[in-house]
Amino acid sequence: MFGRDDDHTGARIKEQRKLARLTQRQLAERLPYSYSLLNQVECGAKSASPDFVAAVAQALRIDVTVLTGQPYVTELQQDRLAALVRPIREALDLYDLGVDDELPGRPPAELVAAANRLCGQVRAARLRKAACELPGVIAELTAAACRAPTTGLWQALASTYRTAHDISVKLGYYDLSSVALDRMDWAARRASDPCLAAIRQYMRALAYFREGEYRIGQRLIAVGHDLVAGAEPTRESTAVTGQLHLGASIIAARAGQQSTVEIHLAEARLCASRTGEAAEIHWLSFGPANVSLHQMSAAVEMRQYDKAVAQAKKITLPPTLATSRRAHFLIDRARSEMETGRTDAALNSLVEARRTAPEQTRYHSGARETITGLVHTSRRTPESLGHMAAWIGL
């Protein structure tokens, strides 16, 4: 029915397994998963969950992106997003050139506002708009911070590097996201801002989480806690502390440490009771709602799909919740619905995610894997599923 049958995660796992000269039995022995599941994933009968992909990547000693096929270059070119990546890469590379006299000297307040606007655009899932503006803002802020170094300008520059990281991750350029985090550290150190430094460690932890390096991720979260502990006890530091606990809960869930998950969620809930909904603090979307969302995501990571579906039904998303976070919730819900046989509901969740944040959904590996799984498990293909499959290039 659909083309490119050899272009799915299972087929890539099979290809890389053969390159490693392993049989299915031999690879399965290296995984915390059954031979039967590996066989079904390779032939496309079952979708490959993120934890399964991470485990295979670790066993084969390759990057997760080799198996997921990221970045999805064909679709990026169709959406005219691929051309936006090179200017971002150049902006990150030229961080040490100092002042560029040919750049306009906008007032610091305007540049700080521009950095905040970029963060807002990413949270609103307007990736193209943010990617277009980002290189110029990085260059201007770099020049301004070198001309007249102030804490505010260095903080704003660190924020733009964080935006570069966020865009890179959402488009599947994980190598570029690592460079962006290094630049974020460079600027955060000059700002002497422990909260920014802690957020950077949180993002590093999630990078290792994606690759299945859970112990490293947990160590980085601990470093983040040490950093924020040196900050003034404010609503800002409480929100950052809470977000670190949320990150730790997801890493522990993927590692199968349920008691640790519950400890971190309890700590995050306590922080949220003190901050209330604090979406504006470093654009983290922290607050009681995000704690509930992470509780559901933890259930997904522990493959407790019935529990995740039940929790999803109880969640009321606040109007202030970032569009990007809303779409992430819908993608998680779709995966849980598919895994529990609720295929129509899963498709509806994905359609809603596409309507909410089309660019983010199209390049989200979890969304693509769920669409692929629905195609392979559906006895008949509804027109809306056919459109979704064609949209991701299946």
**pLDDT at residue 381, rounded to an integer:** 66
Averaged pLDDT for residues 367-371: 93
User: Is the torsion defined by CA of 290, 295, 298, 299 positive or negative?
Assistant: negative
Instruction: Output the pLDDT for position 47.
Output: 86
* Of residues 21 and 103, more confidently modeled: 21
CATH domain 1-69 topology: 434 Repressor (Amino-terminal Domain) (1.10.260)
Q: What is the pLDDT of residues 247-269, one digit of tens each?
A: 999 999 999 999 999 999 999 99
Could you please report the per-residue DSSP string of 247-298? HHHHHHHHTT-HHHHHHHHHHHHHHHHHH-SBTTSTT--BSHHHHHHHHHHH
Give me the pLDDT at residue 5, please: 53
Alpha-carbon gap, residue 50 to 383, rounded angstroms: 27
136-140 contact pairs (CB < 8 A, 24+) = 137/111, 138/91, 138/92, 138/95, 138/164, 139/91, 139/94, 139/100, 139/103, 140/103, 140/104, 140/106, 140/111, 140/114
109-120 per-position pLDDT tens digit: 999 999 999 999
Break the chain into its structural domains and give their ranges.
1-69, 75-192, 193-310, 322-394
Q: What pLDDT, in 10s, does the model give residues 5-18?
A: 567 899 999 999 99
So what's the pLDDT on residue 6? 63
Q: What tokens were used for 382? A: 């509804």
pLDDT digits 0-9 by tens, 21-68? 999 999 999 999 999 999 999 988 888 989 999 999 999 999 999 999
Rounded to whole angstroms, the Cα distance separating 302 from 136 reads 42
Q: In the predicted model, is pLDDT for residue 142 greater than 80?
A: yes
